[in-house]
Amino acid sequence: MSRGRSAQGMGRELSLGGTGRRFFTERAHSSVVPAATTLGRKRLRMALDISSRQKASSIRTLPTRTSRVPSVTSSPRTESAPGRAIRVGVIGYGYWGPNLVRNFWEVPGCEVLAVSDKREAQLALAQARYPAITTTTDSHALLADPAVDAVVIMTPVSTHFELALEALQAGKHVLVAKPIATSSEQAAMLIEEAARRHLVLMVDHTFIYTDAVRRIKELVDSGSLGQLYYYDSVRVNLGLFQHDVNVLWDLAVHDLSIMEYVLGEQPCAVAATGAAHIPYQPVNIAYLTCFFESNLLAHHHVNWLAPVKVRRTLICGERQMIVYDDLEPSEKVKVYDRGVTLNGGPERMAESLINYRTGDMWAPQISLTEGLRVEIHHFLDCVRHGRRPLSDGHAGLRVITLLEAATRSLAQRGQLVETSARSARLAV
C-alpha cells in the first residue's frame, strides 16, 4: 500500500509561531463561560506565551501498547525510519474528511491506513474509492493501533478535545479540525500534552496555507500599505447549520485565523452581536468587532442564512488597499493604489481639504495550488523533522481566546470584553 516515496517540502519555508488540563466542557454556543480556576488561569497564561520555541520531536517508533482492542489495520508494524512513509488514520469522513483523505492519499511519503466514521454509509463511500484502506466505526480502535503514526480528526467541534487528547496520549501526532477545542483550558491542556510527549499538534487553519493569504501577509509586512486603518471581512452563505456551535465558532474562526496570521497581533478587546432565527438552533448571524492597541479596527460578518455565498476581505492602509475575494477564479487578491491626502499643515489640520487619490489596480500572481495540499505537506514535514507547525496549538488557542471573549460579549448584547490574551500579558 505504501508508495515508498519520501515526503516533499512546501517549496518555501514557513515562518513558525507549548501548555494545560480540562476544567469544563462548556458548549461553544453557550452564553455563559465559567470562570477558570487559579490553576487553569496559570496554565492558560503559560500557553499564551507564544515566545516558546520548543520543537516537536521527529517521527519515532511508537510503543506497542497492551490492549484488548485489535489493530484496525492488517499490515504489520515496522520500525520507524527517516525514509519510510508516515502512516495516517483519519477520524471523520463527512463534509471535510474526504478532502483530507484524498490529499493524504496523493501526497508522496504518506500512507493512509484507516478511516473511521460512525456512519456505515460514509465508510462505504471511502471503501469504494480507496479499496486498500481499512474502515472502522470504532475510533478508539484506530487511536490504539500502534501502526498509526499520525491522526487526523475531522469530527464535530464538541468531540475535538476528547479525541485529540486520546490520540496524543496514545503517542500520535495530531492534525485537528478548527476550532481546536471548545475552551481555552482544553486547548491549553492539548498544548501541554503534545509538548510533554514531544508530538506535533496542528490545527486545520487551511486558509493561511493558501498563496493568496500568504501574499497578503507579504504585502502587509512589507509596509507597502502604510499604516493600517481597518480590516473588514464578510463570510456568508446558506448553511450549513451546526448543532454544537454557533456561527462565530463555525465561520468566524476562519477569518480570525487569517487576521491573526496577516496582522501578527492580537486584539485587546472584542464586541459581538448576533441572533438566532431558527428555533432550538444556535446563533446563525453575528457581527464581531475587534479592537487593537493602535487605531486599527477589524470587523467580521458571518451568517448561515444568506441567499448568496460571499467570501470577501478588505484591508485598508494609508497608502494602498487590498481586496481579497476567495471566490474569484484567478485574481483573488487585488491591490488598489487609492486613498486620501490632506492639503494643509498639521497646525491647521481642522481646515485641511481632503483630496481623493485614485491610482492603479494590480493583481499579484497567485498560485492556485490547493491550500489543503500545502497544509498537508507542512504537517508531514513537521512530523518527519520535528518542526513546529505554523498553525500549531498556540495558534488554535489564540483563536479560542477571541471566540470565548466574543461569546461573553454576545451574551451581554455587544458589551466590550477584553481578551484573555491581553489579560495574560498584563498579569505577567
Domain boundaries, the chain: 38-205+372-391, 208-371
Query: Which residue in this structure is represented by grid cell 458548549?
Result: 27
> Edge-to-edge strand order for the sheet containing 134-136?
134-136, 110-116, 86-91, 150-153, 173-176, 201-203
Class for the domain spanning 38-205+372-391: alpha beta
pLDDT of residue 77: 32
Strands (DSSP E) along 62-132, which ranges?
86-91, 110-116
Angle 393-411/184-197 helices, nearest 10 degrees?
A: 170
For 162: left if phi > 0, alpha if psi spans -120 to 50, otherwise beta; the answer is: alpha
CA–CA gap between residue 193 and residue 178 (Å, rounded): 18
| Contacting residues for 135 by C-beta, under 8 A, at least 6 apart | 114, 115, 116, 117, 123, 126, 127
Write down the CATH number for the domain with range 208-371. 3.30.360.10
Nearest CA-CA partner of 139 in 89, 198, 68: 89
pLDDT of residue 52: 40
pLDDT (tens, 9 = 90+) of the chain, 428 residues, equals 433 333 333 333 333 333 332 222 333 443 333 334 444 555 555 455 533 444 554 444 333 333 323 345 443 333 334 578 999 999 999 999 999 999 999 999 999 999 999 999 999 999 999 999 999 999 999 999 999 999 999 999 999 999 999 999 999 999 999 999 999 999 999 999 999 999 999 999 999 999 999 999 999 999 999 999 999 999 999 999 999 999 999 999 999 999 999 999 999 999 999 999 999 999 999 999 999 999 999 999 999 999 999 999 999 999 999 999 999 998 999 999 988 887 766 666 565 678 888 889 999 999 989 999 999 999 999 999 999 999 999 999 999 999 999 999 999 999 999 996 554 443 33
pLDDT of residue 354: 81
pLDDT of residue 427: 38
b/e map of 85-118 (b: 16 or more CB within 10 Å)?
bbbbbbbbbeebbbebbbbbbebebbbbbbbbbe
pLDDT of residue 44: 56
pLDDT of residue 9: 35
pLDDT of residue 84: 84
Tell me phi and psi for residue 319, to 5 degrees. -110, -40
- Cell numbers for 344: 494643509
pLDDT of residue 42: 54
Q: Partners of 322 in the beta sheet?
A: 315, 335
pLDDT of residue 424: 43
- Cell numbers for 137: 466505526
- Cell numbers for 77: 508494524
